[in-house]
Amino acid sequence: MTATDTQTLPLLPLSSGVVLPGMVVTLALETAEARAAAAAAEAADRTLVLVPKRAGGGYADVGTVARIEDVGALPNGLRGAVVRGLRRAHLGAGVADPGGGAATWIEVRPVEAGPASEEAHRLARELRATVEAILDRRRSARMVDLFGGVSDPGEVADTAGYWPDLSYDRKVELLEVVDVEQRLRLVLEWAKEHLADLELKEHINHEVNEGLEKRQREFLLRQQLAAIQKELGDLSGEEEDGDAVSRFRRLLAERDLPEAVAAAVSKELDRFERMSEQSPERGWVQTWLEWVFDIPWGVRAEDRLDLDEAQAVLDTDHTGLDDVKERILEHLAVRKLRAEREAASEEVPAPGSERPLAAGITDGRRGSGAILTLVGPPGVGKTSLGESVARALGRPFVRVALGGVRDEAEIRGHRRTYVGAQPGRLVRAMKEAGAMNPVILLDEVDKLGGDWRGDPASALLEVLDPAQNHTFADHYLEVELDLSDVLFLATANQLETVAGPLLDRMEVVSLDGYTEDEKVAIARDHLLRRQRAAAGLREDEVTVDDGALRSLVREHTREAGVRSLERALARLLRKVATRIARGGHDEAAGSGGTVHPVAVDAAVVRELLGKPRFRDEVLERTSVAGVATGLAVTGVGGDVLFVEATSMPGEGGSPGLTVTGQLGDVMKESAQIALSFVRSRADELGCGPDGFDGRRFHVHFPAGAVPKDGPSAGVTMTTALVSLLTGRLVKPNLAMTGEVTLQGKVLPIGGVKQKVLAAHRVGLTEVLLPKGNEADLDDIPEGIRSEITIHLCSDVRQVLELALEPLAMVAAEAA
């Protein structure tokens, strides 16, 4: 039969399988249609067409011409037929059964098949190798034998019909591909996909088995190691530290843990001992036990109760700061008296009598610590003072930096349920200190943050409350920690950003800055020695007299602390070191070749550092009417503040007020109050009502990039406005501060000491303060009060009388 000849054969539809050419399969004749087709084929030449159904409906376009090899009963009782696939055939139109039977016949046209090409043979060889690799991994010897007896490329591709992993849809697709090369490429692609899947599964199984074997091997080795350590322990009569449970139990017996802590440790130890080596929770429990035993339970540093020795240590480390030193000595004196009274009360009383405790002494240790907060501008020695206090008391010192901390867990620790959990900074500080009564410095407490992770400032409330911190609970440890013996020193630059409840628990000690004499003494006794060593100079190579140090303080620094002074001194000594390194000091050598030290005085300072960075500008600023000198407190200490006032015709003849200089709301309101007072008292103040008609006033605070706020510039703005309207100049050597009311009253303000120090720093000789701040004058050093005349005023009229030059003097200067 040629490729164009057609043939009519019985049709046997297949719903659950595909028979390809070359395949021999047994079909169950379950339906009447199937049995009729088989009977029709047997009645003819035993040939029929097998056509599979598509998954989406309908039949395939290509079927398989097959021959019935045998017909009989299957083991399940159904009738079956053994068929052999012969060739592919295109399907034509269906016809009625020629014999009048129930079978469906169909016209088929053979598929044209020419000789196989070289490419087909190459693809067949590649497919054979791929399938053999698959069968080798599946260890299917029967399939290998079956595949080995096939040589024709088309038959090689059709062996895919035997693959159990090939889906029904793919087998139908394979039947419909009549081109041999295309069929080989399709089967080869499927075979490579299947081989890749097998290789991946094999790799995963290998990794899993290797991991299991490794863990089993490690488990056996650990068991052997434990047995060896046990034998060694039995031979030496003691336990080795490698046995974690034994080590922890020994520590529990040796350490003096509080009862509640010991109970919690014993409970966790029992859990730890029962846990498997492979349990992840075992590592968490072991870390917790390590932390608990790292805390110095029951260990206390012995206080140095000699007040004179403590005073000497404080004076050696720091110049000035008398208020802080006095408070530390008070704390030490109380500790000394408590220790003496408690020792006396522990003596055995006579039979029948009881000795009461000394007044004010309790039978517990609760509340014996202290919480001091050192508040002051940068560079005044707050942080270094903490270490000095620890040396004076003979206690260990730990610094906890709180600047920028935003997570509440940094203070109270993380819950143990979190991966990588650890205790808070206070527990870590106690571990680092090695004692339960250290000095802990909470640095930059005013710069604590807060966000969705919590509020660290609120977490500090319990820490800094003497009535609560004896039972401080860290979230990680979950046992009570006694912090009542700790001396807490907190530092801050300003109190405005410290939370009110937290500030209420602190005892505030102000460090308002140093006087000029104190800065010179600090530079001479502390900074010079440190910076000379940093510059690589010996003591016999350079000398710096007080005049040079005073020149640095006056002309090259203007600050409350001494950091800029130290930098200026370091710069000066580096220039001296450069001169010595270049040999410039040889000219100072004597006739015997002895090198004399470089002597630095005020003239040498100007030569090495150049022109002064700061100059007195008060006289220049106040040389015109409408300018007054005020005093303010900033984040870096006290400062001098100038207020300028001017007036101009108002738009449309309407009066008004403009204030500039990046001012806050309180300061703007103070400016409005000052103008209202001056307008309401114009005749009394000598301003005249005509000065306000249709004029607009402008009050400006120079240094506009610096934010300013507060009511203390009220008297300064009032004085500037009166000076503008009367033409009377403000005294150039005078500064003022105070809040003003609409009735002209001068109300007290804060930061008196810092403001007076700032006035002295720039060379002013008179300061006007509110009468209500008279008590604050005791905080001002005696040396400053002897050089500055301080006027106390309760009414703004007194301020104007003292601050403004007389009209006659103004007229004389104008003439």
**What are the CA-CA distances from residue 502 to residues 267, 445, 455, 459 (Å)?**
36, 10, 12, 10
DSSP state of 44: T
447 is a catalytic site residue: no
User: For the chain, first and last CA: distance in Å?
Assistant: 140
Copy the structure tokens of residue 795. 């009414």
Residue 689 identity (one-letter amino acid): P
Q: Are 651 and 692 in contact (CB under 8 A)?
A: no
d(CA 695, CA 686): 17
Copy the structure tokens of residue 766. 């008179």
d(CA 213, CA 208): 9
Number of Cβ atoms within 10 Å of the Cβ of 505: 21
Residue 536: which region, alpha, beta or left (left: phi > 0; alpha: psi -120 to 50)?
A: left
Q: Are 329 and 310 in contact (CB under 8 A)?
A: yes
Bridge partners of 73?
Answer: 79
DSSP state of 769: E
d(CA 377, CA 637): 5
Q: Which of 776, 701, 705, 711 is nearest to 737 (CA)?
A: 711
Q: Is 469 exposed, middle or buried (0-12, 13-18, 19+ CB in 10 A)?
A: buried
- 599: Cα separation from own chain's centroid: 50
Residues 6+ apart with CB under 8 A from 220: none
**What are the CA-CA distances from residue 496 to residues 378, 446, 447 (Å)?**
16, 8, 11
Residues 551, 670, 712, 723: which is the catalytic one? 712
Please give the helix or strand (H or E) that residue 645 lies within, else none: strand 637-649
Q: Which of 366, 365, 334, 359 is nearest to 467 (CA)?
A: 366
Residues 6+ apart with CB under 8 A from 680: 742
Residues 325, 382, 753, 755: which is the catalytic one? 755
Q: Is the dihedral of CA 257, 263, 268, 273 positive or negative?
A: positive
712 is a catalytic site residue: yes
Q: Are 513 and 638 in contact (CB under 8 A)?
A: yes
d(CA 615, CA 629): 16
Q: Are 91 and 52 in contact (CB under 8 A)?
A: no
DSSP state of 306: -
DSSP state of 238: S
Q: Are 693 and 735 in contact (CB under 8 A)?
A: no
Q: Which of 320, 327, 384 is nearest to 513 (CA)?
A: 320
Output the furthest CA–CA distance in the chain (Å, rounded). Answer: 148
- 672: Cα separation from own chain's centroid: 45
Copy the structure tokens of residue 518. 């104190």
DSSP per-residue string spanning 477-490: T-SEE--TT-EEEE
Residues 6+ apart with CB under 8 A from 550: 516, 520, 602
Q: Supply angle C-alpha 280, 285, 287, rounded to 5.
A: 100
- 570: Cα separation from own chain's centroid: 34
d(CA 507, CA 503): 8
Q: Which of 444, 447, 448, 441 is nearest to 488 (CA)?
A: 441
Q: Is 162 exposed, middle or buried (0-12, 13-18, 19+ CB in 10 A)?
A: middle
d(CA 565, CA 525): 13
Catalytically active residues are 712, 755
